[in-house]
């Protein structure tokens, strides 16, 4: 330890003097912590809502168009499928140009027949999907299907029918869905 | 003379000053600077508020009167005129157009009464929106009239009501229908 002279000690005291910062020196800034809390909470709230938005999707459909020239690129001499799915309160009827499809979807049938009847009181959506998949196998270029329902059939059942005819395990079946409103 | 020889050097004096200063506590307020974080959060907040405000999904509030059906569709929601069909009313872009009774349209609100399909108040409102959108198309060709509507309907809505709404939309040149649904992995919903 070096020996300091009185003069040096005074010099050291003068230059190492510690002064407590006054209140005007420490509290001169706006306290932003509460503001920061609000911002963090708002961000969390908005993040939660944004994730809720991601739960929504949309199902596209259109109305049938009536025109004399036909729709699409199909040559006029090729057979038209005109696939139609009708949801009733007892089951689902699938029709094409050849008539109503019988259960199993391999043949057509006449009369009051349900192509995919209800099973245990519930609609058999997988049965409908399997049926239209069979039809797709015979008409691979066809993409349109008309969906309609009985007056009292609920919207959820219509949406499920549209889901069943649109695709099967990522493979498109009949993605162009037309909603037939007021036509039976 | 001897006393002067023993005197410490200037370097030692400075070392001593530094040592004493180092003993003092750091004054408060010199800790972490949170201003950059606050800037970042404010920017994030503004961005999210803007995104939220521009999303039509923000206008959808599910309730006992409006339960959205489930679909396996993965298509993200787009932007279009929003029509809500709940158990007790039809709302177009936030304005209540008519009231429903258990999801059914009162015959007095339809052209032709009970057997009619054209819902008069909805026809008037959608006609007004169509004219407005076509006017916008004339002024700004980059925003063409697409005839698109987003339909947010209660899952229990009877097809009769839905077909009346769709028929009325068809009569006002809105033929591109986008049904808003909840995403699900299996047909018919989670349960």
Neighbour-count burial of B1, counting CB atoms closer than 10 A to its CB (0-12 exposed, 13-18 middle, 19+ buried): exposed
**Backbone torsions φ then ψ of B96, nearest 5 degrees:** -75, 120
- CB nearest to A156's CB, from B48, B60, B69: B69
Higher pLDDT, B135 or B62: B135
Q: Reply yes or no on whether the pLDDT at B31 is more than 70.
A: no
Q: Is B158 on the interface with A (CB under 8 A)?
A: yes
Among B45, B57, B169, whose Cβ lies nearest the Cβ of A43?
Answer: B45
Range B165-174 average pLDDT: 92
**Structure-model confidence comparison of residues A9 and A182, the more confident one:** A9
Say if the Cβ atoms of A53 and B74 lie within 8 Å.
no
Residues A63-88: what's their mean pLDDT? 67
Residues 93-132 of A with CB under 8 A from B: 123, 125-126, 129
Q: How far is A164 from chain B (nearest CA, A)?
A: 7
B178 and chain A in contact, CB less than 8 A: yes
* pLDDT attached to residue A52: 65
Q: In angstroms, rounded to a whole number, what is the distance separating the alpha carbons of residues B108 and B91? A: 18
pLDDT band at A184 (very low <50, low <70, confident <90, very high): very low
pLDDT digits (tens, 9 = 90+) for A80-128: 788 899 999 989 999 988 788 888 777 887 777 888 888 888 888 988 9
Closest C-alpha among B89, B83, B179 to residue A58: B179
pLDDT of residue A183: 45
3-class DSSP state for residue A94?
strand
For A78-91, the pLDDT digits (tens) are 667 888 999 999 89
How far B13 CA lies from chain A's nearest CA (Å)?
7
* pLDDT at A137 (0 to 100): 86
> What's the pLDDT score for residue B165?
93
| Average pLDDT across chain A, whole number | 80
Contacts of A8 in chain B (CB under 8 A): 7-8, 13
Over range A34-63, report the average pLDDT. 80
- Whether the pLDDT of residue A66 is over 90: the answer is no
pLDDT tens digits, B133-155 = 999 999 988 888 888 999 999 99
Q: For chain B, what is the mean pLDDT?
A: 84
What is the per-residue pLDDT for B3? 47
Neighbours of A35 (CB within 10 A): 13
pLDDT over threshold 80, residue A70: no
Report A:15-34 residues touching B (Cβ under 8 A).
Answer: 15-16, 18, 21, 25-26, 29, 32
What is the ipTM for the molecules in this complex?
Answer: 0.72
Q: Strand, helix or coil at A102?
A: coil
Across the range A173-178, mean pLDDT stands at: 90
Mean pLDDT of B30-45: 78
Determine contact: A3 vs chain B, CB below 8 A. yes
CA B15 from chain center: how many Å? 64
Number of residues that this document lists for chain B: 191
Radius of gyration of chain A from its Cα atoms, rounded to whole angstroms: 37
Which residues face B183 on adjacent strands?
B71
Buried b (16+ CB within 10 A) or exposed e, B70-102: bbbbeeebeebbbbbbbbebbbbeeeebbebee
Q: Tell me what the mean pLDDT of segment B59-85 comes to.
A: 85
The mean pLDDT value for A43-50 works out to 78
């Amino acid at each position: 330890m070096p020996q300091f002279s009185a003069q040096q000690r005074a010099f050291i005291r003068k230059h190492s003097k510690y002064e407590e910062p006054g209140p005007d020196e420490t509290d001169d800034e706006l306290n932003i912590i509460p503001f920061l809390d609000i911002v963090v909470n708002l961000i969390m709230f908005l993040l939660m809502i944004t994730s809720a938005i991601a739960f929504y999707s949309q199902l596209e459909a259109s109305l049938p168009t009536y025109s004399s020239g036909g729709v699409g690129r199909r040559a006029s001499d090729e057979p038209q499928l005109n696939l139609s799915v009708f949801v009733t309160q007892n089951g689902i009827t699938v029709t094409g140009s050849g008539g109503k499809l019988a259960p199993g979807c391999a043949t057509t049938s006449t009369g009051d027949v349900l192509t995919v009847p209800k099973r245990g009181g519930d609609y058999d959506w997988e049965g409908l999907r399997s049926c239209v998949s069979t039809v797709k196998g015979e008409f691979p270029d066809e993409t349109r299907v008309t969906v309609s329902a009985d007056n009292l059939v609920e919207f959820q059942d219509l949406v499920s029918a549209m889901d069943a005819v649109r695709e099967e395990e990522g493979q498109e079946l009949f993605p162009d869905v037309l909603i037939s409103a007021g036509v039976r | 003379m001897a006393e002067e020889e023993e005197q410490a050097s200037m370097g030692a004096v400075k070392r001593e000053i530094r040592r004493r200063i180092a003993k003092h506590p750091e004054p408060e307020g010199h800790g972490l600077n949170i201003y950059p974080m606050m800037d970042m959060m404010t920017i994030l907040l503004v961005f999210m508020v803007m995104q939220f405000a521009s999303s039509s999904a923000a206008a959808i509030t599910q309730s006992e009167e409006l339960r959205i059906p489930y679909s396996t569709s993965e298509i993200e929601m787009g932007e279009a005129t929003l029509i809500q069909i709940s158990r007790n009313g039809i709302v177009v872009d936030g304005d209540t157009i008519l009231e429903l009774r258990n999801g059914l349209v009162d015959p007095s609100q339809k052209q032709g009464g009970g057997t009619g399909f054209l819902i008069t108040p909805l026809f008037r409102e959608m006609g007004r929106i169509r004219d407005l959108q076509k006017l916008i198309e004339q002024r700004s060709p980059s925003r063409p009239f697409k005839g698109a509507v987003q339909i947010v309907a209660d899952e229990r809505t009877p097809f009769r009501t839905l077909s009346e709404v769709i028929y009325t939309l068809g009569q006002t040149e809105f033929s591109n229908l986008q049904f808003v649904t909840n995403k699900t992995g299996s047909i018919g919903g989670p349960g």
